[in-house]
Amino acid sequence: MALVTPHGGKLTPVLVAREERPGLEAKAKGLDVIRITSRETSDCLMIGMGAFSPLTGFMGKADYESVVSTKHLSNGLAWPVPITLSVTKEQAASLTEGKEVALVDDESGKYVGILTVQEKYEYDKIKECKEVFFTDDDDHPGVQKVKAQGDINVGGSLVTFSEMGYASKYPEHYAHPADTRKLFEEKGWNTVCAFQTRNPLHRSHEFLCKVGMEVCDGLLIHPIVGKLKQGDIPAEVRFECYKVLLENYFNLDNVIMKVYPMEMRYAGPSEGILHSIFRQNFGCSHILIGRDHAGVGDYYTAYQAQEIFDQFKPGELLCQPLKVTAAYYSQKCDGMTTEKTGPKLGKEDRIAISGTKLRAMLAEGKQPPLEFGRKEVVDILIEYYKGLKK
């Protein structure tokens, strides 16, 4: 056996070698500039490292419209979420076919890459929101981002020359798809289960990760360290939680933790498919999809992100979902169980475990029970919330 092949057959990174980056940045500083949002910046990095293979730039009209309407690229390859760069009509006026423009992260002012314009086109924001997020409600954070975009999408090929400091911030844990594939091969893993997370791992997450470890040769804990919505726990704090949990409660021979720079869209089912596709590029054969995967608020049903996988034909997605129901600590069982496997004794039997409940308890200065979260993790979070109060 061997690792799953990348989506579309091969990795297509467009990040230049380290020694070439200063020259390209100097070139970019002589070009006209498009200032891009944090989400567009994170997409530049994901395209750059090959995580969004087979994409090599921002989507043109044919791919964009096909993805919104069918969750497939125009060539028929599965893809659930548009990867686009948007500008105002005034900015678009000067963007001619073949023109090179520098992309600058609007928040930091850092130069990220160079886009060669191939086309520009109008698009329907409301349709995109309804098809991708299943809502156009202004309170949805992903919808907010789309509605705030410029009215013109610009498609074109991309060259990236910056990783926005992630590689130096997480020197041992920041990895490209080619890196994780090499690690898996060195370990002799053929099947690898990915665990997507934007929260500290509580006991139910730990339980589900270990289910994945039993099913596959190894586990990739793959936290997102790009921008999150207000109120989510910062990546630096979560990172310390992940490390202390792994060191104390996992067999380190069978688990790898790496981080990646994408920004959450909170697109629920659509984002679940996207998570599967780029985990395939990282070399994973499976991904844990649990309750309300990549969701926010009450916009999605509990297992909608599992159900959407059934819409795709066999072989379209080589990173398959491990569909797991909500895990919790059962007082009757005196241990962790799930909605599918545990006795139906009602909520009074459960020490319910959720990131939302954990954050609320910590914000109030309450010590959660050990059935809720490991002491080493909780201690880090308590210190973080004390700092917020100060």
In a domain, 137, yes or no: yes
Task: Name the active-site residue from 39, 153, 181, 198.
Answer: 198
Task: Kindly report the pTM of this predicted structure.
Answer: 0.95
Query: Which of the residues 199, 265, 279, 374 is marked catalytic?
Result: 199
Using 50, 70 and 90 to split pLDDT, how confident is the model at 390?
A: low
* d(C-alpha 227, C-alpha 27), whole Å: 28
- The pLDDT value recorded for residue 199 is 85
- How confident is the model over 254-274, as pLDDT tens digits? 999 999 999 999 999 999 999
Instruction: Tell me if 30 sits within 8 A of 111, measured CB to CB.
Output: no
Instruction: Mark which of 164, 180, 201 sits at the end of a domain.
Output: 164
Q: Which residues lie below 8 Å from residue 164, measured CB to CB, with a gap of 6+?
A: 41, 45, 105, 108, 110, 112, 261
Structure tokens at 30: 């002589």
Does residue 2 form part of some domain? Answer: no
Same domain flag for 154 and 54: yes
| 383 shares its domain with 246 | yes
Per-residue confidence (pLDDT) for residue 166, from 0 to 100: 95
Residues 6+ apart with CB under 8 A from 309: 272, 273, 276, 289, 317, 320, 321, 323
- Are 177 and 295 within one domain? yes
DSSP 222-248: EEB-S---TTSPPHHHHHHHHHHHHHH
Residue pLDDT, tens place only, 277-299: 999 999 999 999 999 999 999 99
Mean predicted confidence (pLDDT) in 152-181: 97
Helices 269-282, 177-187: inter-axial angle, 10-degree rounding: 60
In a domain, residue 269? The reply is yes
Shared domain check, 232 and 150: no
Q: Do 68 and 145 lie in a common domain?
A: yes
| Residues near 284 by beta carbon (within 8 Å), at least 6 away in sequence | 4, 192, 193, 194, 220, 319
- 175 and 295 part of one domain: yes
pLDDT of residue 389: 67
- Catalytic residue list contains 21: no
* In-domain check, residue 213: yes
- For the stretch 193-248, pLDDT in tens is 999 998 888 898 999 999 999 999 999 999 999 887 777 788 889 999 999 999 99
Which of the 8 DSSP states describes residue 371? T
Residues 197 and 337 in one domain: yes
Active site residue 199: yes
Rounded CA separation 245/171 (Å): 19
Percent of the chain residues past pLDDT 70, beyond the cut: 97
Residue pLDDT, tens place only, 42-51: 999 999 999 9
Q: What is the CATH number of the domain that holds 250?
A: 3.40.50.620
178 lies in the same domain as 315: yes
Residue-level length of the chain: 390
Could you read off the pLDDT of 110-135 as tens digits, one per residue? Answer: 999 999 999 999 999 999 999 999 99
140 and 274 part of one domain: no
The pLDDT tens digits for 323-372 are 999 998 999 999 999 999 999 888 888 886 566 667 777 778 788 888 88
The answer as to whether 13 is a domain residue is no
Q: Are residues 63 and 121 in the same domain?
A: yes
Q: Are residues 229 and 245 both part of a single domain?
A: yes
3-state secondary structure of 122: strand
Tens-place pLDDT, residues 129-155: 999 999 999 999 999 999 999 999 999
Q: What is the mean pLDDT of residues 28-34?
A: 98
**Which pLDDT belongs to residue 356?**
66
- How many structural domains comprise the chain? 2
Distance of CA 53 to the CA centre of its chain: 14
Q: Tokens for 117, please give them.
A: 């314009």
Domain boundary among 133, 164, 195: 164
**Does residue 211 lie within any of the structural domains?**
yes
pLDDT of residue 265: 95
Question: For residue 285, what are the contacts with CB-CB under 8 A and spacing of at least 6?
Answer: 3, 4, 190, 191, 192, 193, 216, 318, 319, 320
pLDDT band at 302 (very low <50, low <70, confident <90, very high): very high
Same domain as 337, residue 292: yes
Domain range enclosing 307: 171-389
Establish if 100 belongs to a structural domain.
Answer: yes
Whole-number pLDDT of residue 355: 61
Question: Which contacts of 226-229 are long-range, i.e. CB under 8 A and separated by 24 or more positions?
Answer: 226/38, 226/42, 226/260, 226/261, 226/262, 226/263, 226/264, 227/38, 227/39, 227/42, 227/263, 227/264, 228/198, 228/263, 228/264, 229/141, 229/264, 229/266, 229/296
Give the mean model confidence (pLDDT) for residues 175-179.
Answer: 98
pLDDT surpasses 90 at 105: yes
- At 28, which CATH number? 3.10.400.10
Determine, yes or no, domain membership for 96.
yes
